[in-house]
A and B are shown apart, each in its own frame.
Chain A
Amino acid sequence: SAVISQKPSRDICQRGTSLTIQCQVDSQVTMMFWYRQQPGQSLTLIATANQGSEATYESGFVIDKFPISRPNLTFSTLTVSNMSPEDSSIYLCSVERVGVTQYFGPGTRLTVL
């Protein structure tokens, strides 16, 4: 498995502002993933972040809205930009281990007023 931490664990933000979420892993990993989980819903992949290259975004998600950094093999950030109430969700990062198995961080609960 992997020990994954996320900061902040939760936040309440005003409309139009931005929030950066950090994800830290206890060991080096090649691939990190960012998911969004809207209230009462399942997980939706936002993007895949590989160290040393641009993140790969899924359909419906764009870099201007969700910029991602991956400066090294143990750390990544996701920024939610120009937030609106529709961005209120849980944001989770995950890493790939044991082949394709993914292990998840504790999540960041974001509320946008």
Chain B
Amino acid sequence: AQTVTQSQPEMSVQEAETVTLSCTYDTSENNYYLFWYKQPPSRQMILVIRQEAYKQQNATENRFSVNFQKAAKSFSLKISDSQLGDTAMYFCAFIADNYGQNFVFGPGTRLSVLP
């Protein structure tokens, strides 16, 4: 069974600074997808970024980028130029590329961006 671990329950960062959230996962699959979702206090889950395991290039979306280390089974999220609106719970998620597989979510990291 796959598992996703986020070792940082809470983090804080000053506005305009850079922060990195950690995620590790365990799987025997070779083909899979990884995601970061953001859940602000409004509770809407918002897709931040997605990475296909077969792609060596790290995904980027504006201020958000990932450091995907397949051999180490690590998938960290870097937020540059942090903004107050980045304050949220961040969940790392994994899904294997097999029919019938379901998302596995990590426990989440609560990020606070301080003014």
Asked whether, in the complex, the Cβ of B43 is within 8 Å of the Cβ of A90, the reply is: yes
Asked whether, in the complex, the Cβ of A109 is within 8 Å of the Cβ of B91, the reply is: no
Q: Mark B104-115, 1 if CB is under 8 A from A, else 0.
A: 011110000000
Asked whether, in the complex, the Cβ of A48 is within 8 Å of the Cβ of B102, the reply is: yes
Asked whether, in the complex, the Cβ of A45 is within 8 Å of the Cβ of B102, the reply is: yes
Asked whether, in the complex, the Cβ of B45 is within 8 Å of the Cβ of A100, the reply is: no
Point out the residues of chain B lying under 8 angstroms from A42, CB to CB.
91, 105-108
Asked whether, in the complex, the Cβ of A102 is within 8 Å of the Cβ of B103, the reply is: yes
Of A48, A90, A101, A105, which is within 8 A of B50 by CB? A101
Size bracket, chain A contacts = 20 to 34
For the complex, what is the distance from the CA of A58 to the CA of B102, rounded to whole Å? 10
Of A1, A45, A99, A105, which is within 8 A of B103 by CB? A45
Asked whether, in the complex, the Cβ of B33 is within 8 Å of the Cβ of A100, the reply is: yes
For the complex, what is the distance from the CA of A40 to the CA of B47, rounded to whole Å? 19
Q: Smallest distance from the beta carbon of B65 to chain A beta carbons, Å?
A: 18
Q: Using known A-B contacts A1-B47, A101-B47, determine if residue A43 contacts B42 with beta carbons closer than 8 Å.
A: no
Does B97 have its Cβ within 8 Å of any Cβ on chain A?
A: yes
Point out the residues of chain A lying under 8 angstroms from B45, CB to CB.
43, 92, 94, 104, 107
Selected A-B contacts with CB under 8 Å, 14 pairs:
A1-B47, A42-B91, A43-B45, A43-B91, A43-B105, A99-B33, A100-B97, A100-B101, A101-B33, A101-B50, A103-B47, A104-B44, A104-B45, A106-B42
